[in-house]
């Protein structure tokens, strides 16, 4: 009899290969966040995904979490191909590139300054959230969402920005339009206040459930606009005003 992790792994692997969606009622739910992370890691191994980067976060109970971003990363102007029927959400983010490894070292927490010293570049990043789980929004148990890498679909690595931007978000705005129609225009706000908080939490995690933080990886620090639902497909323009703009096509 397959375990919950094995059942979830097999379903997500098949859905990603087929570019199809899973009705969540057909899946067992991992009992814990650790089991959800284990299922995510098993999916990555089964698909042979590269550990090119991570989206980091903090669960409601304070547990550090992460989702694999395997790349290859899209460039501004590229086309993102969504699965038929999938819900696509757009997130404007700040991303960092690791210039050296950040070894797992329980009992010896990293400081914010140490982590920043391990990064050589910052970018405007645009994440497309596209879960393999059908009708997921507000309806999926978090360990199952974690098993699906928190719905990571793709990532556009935009222009390089000053790394000091992470120290102060004041005066920044997030703008998104679809086919010339504005769908979001609000000040940039991070859910944890400081965009470095989830990265710091993951670097200081108690268990090494997924994989290492290594030189060359991209770490995205969380959305500055929440997850903005795209009401359709077409030409998308995103701006982190006044710093940078990224255009892409959803298809």
- Asked whether 220 and 56 are in contact (CB, 8 A), the reply is yes
pTM: 0.95
Q: What is the pLDDT of residue 251?
A: 94
pLDDT tens digits along 17-73: 999 999 988 899 999 999 999 999 999 999 999 999 999 999 999 999 999 999 999
Alpha-carbon gap, residue 87 to 19, rounded angstroms:
13
75-109 as b/e: b if 16+ CB within 10 A: ebeeebebbeebbbbbbbbbbbbbeeebeeeeeee
pLDDT tens digits along 173-196: 999 999 999 999 999 999 999 999
Residue 138 has pLDDT above 80, yes or no: no
Q: What is the pLDDT of residue 73?
A: 97
- Count structural domains, the chain: 1
pLDDT tens digits along 105-123: 998 999 999 999 999 999 9
DSSP alpha helices (H): ranges in the chain?
A: 4-18, 33-47, 112-117, 142-147, 196-203
- Asked whether 125 and 157 are in contact (CB, 8 A), the reply is yes
Average confidence (pLDDT) over 135-160: 93
Q: How buried is 168 (Cβ within 10 angstroms: 0-12 exposed, 13-18 middle, 19+ buried)?
A: exposed
Question: Could you tell me the residue range of the domain that residue 141 belongs to?
Answer: 4-250
The CA-atom distances, in angstroms, between 200 and each of 152, 195, 240 are 20, 9, 23
* Residue 83, domain CATH: 3.90.850.10
Alpha-carbon gap, residue 92 to 222, rounded angstroms:
8
Alpha-carbon gap, residue 103 to 114, rounded angstroms:
12
């Amino acid at each position: 009899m397959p375990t919950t992790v094995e059942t979830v792994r097999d379903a997500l692997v098949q859905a990603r290969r087929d570019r199809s969606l899973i009705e969540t009622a057909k899946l067992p739910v991992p009992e814990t966040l650790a089991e959800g992370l284990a299922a995510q890691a098993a999916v990555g191994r089964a698909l042979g995904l590269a550990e090119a980067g991570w989206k980091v976060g903090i669960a409601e109970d304070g547990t550090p979490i992460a989702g694999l971003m395997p790349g290859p990363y899209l460039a501004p102007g590229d086309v993102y191909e969504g699965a038929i029927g999938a819900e696509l959400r757009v997130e404007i983010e700040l991303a960092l590139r690791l210039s050296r490894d950040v070894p797992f070292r329980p009992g010896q927490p990293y400081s914010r300054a140490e982590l920043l010293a391990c990064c050589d570049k910052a970018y405007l990043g645009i994440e497309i959230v596209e879960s393999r789980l059908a009708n997921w929004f507000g309806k999926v148990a978090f360990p199952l969402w974690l098993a699906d890498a928190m719905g990571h679909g793709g990532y556009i690595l935009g222009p390089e920005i000053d790394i000091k931007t992470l120290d102060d978000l004041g005066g920044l705005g997030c703008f998104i339009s679809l086919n010339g129609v504005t769908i979001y225009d609000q000040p940039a706000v991070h859910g944890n206040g400081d965009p470095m908080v989830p990265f710091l939490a993951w670097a200081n995690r108690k268990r090494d459930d997924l994989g290492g933080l290594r030189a060359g990886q991209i770490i995205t620090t969380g959305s500055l606009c929440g997850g903005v639902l795209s009401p359709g497909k077409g030409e998308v323009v995103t701006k982190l005003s006044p710093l940078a703009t990224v255009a892409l096509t959803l298809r």
